[in-house]
Structure 1
Amino acid sequence: MSHELDALYQDIILDHAKRRLNAGLREPFDAEVHHVNPTCGDEITLRLQLDGDVVRDISYDNQGCSISTASASVMSELLVGKTVAEAAPVHDAFLEMMRGKGQVEPDEDVLEDAVAFAGAAKLTARVKCALLSWMAYQDALARAQEDSHA
């Protein structure tokens, strides 16, 4: 990765860590989950609201490093407004990139700003930070869908 691209990605992460899009727990919601990264102590409480099969809202409250905070912000920006089916390939691509130890070439068309975390994928200690909100979303989605089919 070039130095310029690395700096751009770092700027995206820092910007999202400061702006924290969709931060603050909101109502109504269909599912709420709380996840903790035991490695570093980062925490997130995430609420998900579905409207049929559309991700209507993702709100969260988190405490943690800039990578976990920025990741929650980017994820919420990318997934809100998409159908569950449209959000799935974005979620899957992010997980693949983060678990690829820096060997997976991210698809910027799918991941948009989330490609900024490609560098973090090379840092084993930071992978769980970046994945925390994405795993919380996956958990909340499963719970919301389970409750709607009950």
Structure 2
Amino acid sequence: MKDDLYADPIITWAKDKTHERPLSNADISVRLSNPLCGDMVTIEIKCKGNSIVKIAHQVRGCLLCKASAAHLASLAAGLDAHGLKEIYDALKEALKSSDDDHPFPPDYTMFAPVRAHKSRHSCVLLPYEAAIKALAAQGVENDPT
């Protein structure tokens, strides 16, 4: 179902507990919340140089935020701040777009039904915003070179 906001992939990712735990050796931890819907996400990151080694998350929020955090944590290893920001920007553009001029990044098509629900975009983006803020606080630069 193309327009089903809580399609099976979203539910599956929301139930994924693989990275949902405190990270004992985290370099940085950031908690962000969305005052409009009440979602709260804590992202903990272990870095090596400018690259993410591991991300863990804790989410108190909706299925969309949980799915997004779990998905991010599963794909983040090896990314640097620039790569993470590129994914965030592409995902944000795809959500805002009303057509396929801005397609979803290949691994993110499960979030396509959210496009029609503008008030839920922030639920998907919040984990990425927390991770970007965490890397910035750690001094990991968003340098495309």
Equivalent residue, structure 1, for 2:58: 61
Contact 1:102/1:119 (<8 A) preserved:
no
Does the alignment pair 1:106 with 2:104? yes
Number of the residue aligned with 1:40: 37
> TM-score with structure 2 length normalisation?
0.83
Report the counterpart of residue 120 of structure 1 in structure 2.
114
Q: Which runs of 4+ in 1 moved over 6 A?
A: none
The structural deviation recorded for 1:46 is 1.0
Q: CA, structure 1 residues 101+73, in 2 after alignment: closer, same or farther (shift >3 Å)?
A: farther
2:77 aligns to what? 80
Contact 2:23-2:45 within 8 A present in 1 as well? no
Name stretches of at least 5 consecutive residues in structure 2 with no aligned partner. 141-145
Which residue identity is paired with 1:64?
A: G
**CA distance 1:78–1:101, shift in 2 (3 Å):** farther
Matched, 1:16 2:10: no
Q: 2:85·2:132 contact (CA, 8 Å) conserved in 1?
A: no
- Say which is worse superposed, 84-93 or 41-50, in terms of deviation: 84-93
Structure 1, unpaired ranges of 5+: none
Q: Root-mean-square deviation (CA), in Å?
A: 2.2
Would you say how many aligned residue pairs link Structure 1 and Structure 2?
139
> 67-76 vs 18-27, which deviates more?
18-27
Using the size of structure 1 for normalisation, the TM-score is 0.81
How far apart in 2 are the matches of 1:62 and 1:107? 23
Instruction: Give the number of the structure whose residues are more often helix, by fraction.
Output: 1
Cα distance between partner residues in 2 of 1:101 and 1:39: 23
